[in-house]
Structure 1
């Protein structure tokens, strides 16, 4: 693992991917000292001997999580996690780390998406009897579906998780079930990310939409969250807590 001197250190994940490179560049531009990077194929370098850092920014993959958690516990590093595709028990592990470390996790570090989640919750409450469909679109190389952001929007519509969810319809699907929420994933091209929440009533529709023109918005949000996280006491923080509280 490469290292460099500096006052504040950061271990940045995703060294072989575009997101990791952009995060490293943004951290350096904002005065952080990037002490090293890793990805899924060499994350075991964190297990022993990796220098202690103040901060871990993790955009790798769920498979790296045990190593990232062990490193954070050993060093006391703050953790900004943006990896998606976590199982519920893995998200529970991230939250549990907040008992000893400063931690934040978000499926999307865009301020616009954070505002979209808030707006979605407000509209869902106001239009409680309307049909809801969530559509997300990403580039063809994205490996998980639906996106973490789509799942967050689903939670904004149905916080209790009690409504039936479908991820596609084909054949004789029958009439729409009462309360059903559709969540649909589109893949293709170089789309950075588009999320739409459709509310259908009688003779009218409300559609909330966010379009990402590039990954840079996620990078800027994650690094801004990192700066705020380092000033907070130990605990688990939602992105909204850090940026809007």
Structure 2
């Protein structure tokens, strides 16, 4: 049985992970991290990773982007592998990942859904054949409590498409105005927020008289938690390095 330190344990995703890990045959949560310490839990909860005294085998992080840099530093200091599933990381935080991965195994993905990552493979296969003749647009929908826009997943999809193109597109976040030209060189990325939508991403390839749409819909948060657990199982077998869902699916 491997011991998990769950970062963001009191958050919505942290609660889902607690439920799923309870039923997992090889993982158990022995400690948590959260800025809220007055909620009940079946394990000790700390404000900082440096305070954790339990033996930890791996860290799973679904917290707030502002908490991730300190957590990465603590994992490096304690030589702990870490799965980072928190979205909205700053460029400075992302720059820490390859540095930390020289010492510890680091798994990072802007979306832990297996379906989203299979979609990425499909988009990278399709996009090069259409890039010269089709506009590419991304629409993402999430619940009204989501703080970041566009979503990390929308940017992941956009970056993945661009990586496959001969000439990457320029991102346009939203669209407004009276004299727009909407050139093929742009990729529009649009965010919708409302209600309790767990997450929906649609990539549209729009050509002359024909349209292709690829849509992924998250029906519950369990898909992200399941992906994070698969990432943890994968990472426990790896040496130091930076890994993502494409490595897991390879």
TM over 0.5: yes
Deviation digits for residues 65-114 of structure 1, max 9, x if unmatched? 12211221122111011001111221121222111111101111111100
Cα separation, 1, equivalents of 2:54 and 2:78: 8
Residue 20 of structure 1 pairs with residue 26 of structure 2 = no
Conservation of the 8 A alpha-carbon contact between 2:60 and 2:83: yes
- Aligned counterpart, 1:3: none
| Secondary structure at 1:176 match in 2 | coil
Runs of 4+ in 1 over 6 A off after TM superposition: none
Q: Matches of residues 11-160 of structure 1 in structure 2 within 5 Å?
A: 11-31=5-25, 32-40=27-35, 44-129=47-132, 130-159=134-163
Cα separation, 2, equivalents of 1:216 and 1:49: 27
Q: Which runs of 5+ in 2 are unaligned?
A: 38-45
Conservation of the 8 A alpha-carbon contact between 1:53 and 1:75: no
Question: How many pairs are equivalent?
Answer: 238
Normalising by structure 2, report the TM-score: 0.89
Normalising by structure 1, report the TM-score: 0.91
Q: CA shift at 1:45, angstroms?
A: 2.5
Cα separation, 1, equivalents of 2:31 and 2:122: 38
Q: CA shift at 1:40, angstroms?
A: 4.0
Cα separation, 2, equivalents of 1:35 and 1:180: 48
- Of residues 205, 226, 232, the one that matches 1:226 is 232
Conservation of the 8 A alpha-carbon contact between 1:40 and 1:64: no
Q: Which runs of 5+ in 1 are unaligned?
A: 1-6
More off after superposition, 88-97 vs 141-150: 88-97
CA RMSD in angstroms comes to: 1.7
| Secondary structure at 1:217 match in 2 | helix
- Aligned counterpart, 2:42: none
